[in-house]
Structure 1
C-alpha cells in the first residue's frame, strides 16, 4: 500500500474530519491573503489580522492532527514517536485506566442522541443527511464524543451508569504519540498489574438489588 492509498482510506473513514480540515485550510488561506494584501498596500498588517493568522494556523494544525494523528507545529523527534521510557530516578509514568458499565434500554436512543449532536455541529444539514451520516451506534458515539470535545460525557446519553472502576497503574513505557504506532490493545498493560497498581477506586451508581425483590 502506497502513501496515496493510505490517504484515500483515511478520507473514507473520516470524511467529516476531511471536511473540517478543508474548512480550516480555506480559513488559513483567507487570513494569510488578508495579511499579504495589507503588506502589498504598504499599510502593514493590523494586530487583528496577525491574530487571525495565528488562530487560523492553530485551527489548521488541530484539524490536521485530528485527521492524521500528526502535529505539524510540534518539532519532529523520531524517538518521541515511540513514547517516553522511564528507566530510573524519582520520576516515572502511570496510566489511568477507567471502566464504567452502563445499562442501555434501547440502542436506537443512542443513535438519536448522536444525530442530535450532529445537528448541533451541522445545523444546515437536512434530516436525510443526518440519518445518512449517523446511521448506527458507532457513528452516534463518534458524534457524541465530538460535540463534547472528545471527552466522554457522564452520564452517557441514553445510558444508565451501573458501576465503574478506575486504576492508577505505574508503567515503564508510555504509548507512542504517533497513531499508526499505537498498540492493538492499549489495555493489555493492566495484565499482571498487582505490583504496579498505585491506587484503585470503585464507583457504585445503581442501587444494590434488595433481597427478595
Structure 2
C-alpha cells in the first residue's frame, strides 16, 4: 500500500499585468483584422474557462465574421445598396463589438474568482506516509494542567456555620519504638550500677 502523498497545490493565476497585456493584445488583433481573427480571442477564453458555452461562442466567432464578409462581398458595386449587404455589415461590426465585450467581461470575472480562490485556499499539509503515526496537531495540548488543591475558606464574620478542624495526623510508630528503646537503655544502665534507683555509690 502507498501513503497519501502530497496534495495538489493551488494553481496561482497570472499576475494582473500579464492579464491586462493579453486582453489588450487580443482586442487589438480582433479590431485590426476587421473581425477575421476574433476566433483567437474566443479560443483563449474557451481554453481558460473550459465552459461549453464558450466553446460554442468560439465556433460562432468563426462563422459570423466570414458570413458577414460574404454578404458584403456579394454586393454589386463598391457601395452597399441591398439588404444583404447591410446585414453583412451589421453582422461583422456587431460581432466584433459583442465578442470583445463578452471576452473582457468573462475573462475579468473568471480571473477575479481565481484570485479569490487562491487567496482564501487553506494551506494543505502533506499526509503521513503509510506506517507512520500522524503528526501532532498544533491545537493539541502538550501539558496536562494539574488539579488545584482546594484550600479551606474561613467563614465570614456573620456566618455561624462551624468549620470542622483539619484532621490530626497520627504520630508515626517510629516514635513509640524509640521511646521503648530509651526505656530499656535506662533500665540497663541502672542494673549496671547495681542500684535499682539508678544512683551511684559514693555519690553526693
Q: Which has the higher strand share?
A: 1
TM-score by length of 2: 0.26
Q: Which has the higher helix share?
A: 2
Query: Which structure has the bigger radius of gyration?
Result: 2
TM-score by length of 1: 0.25
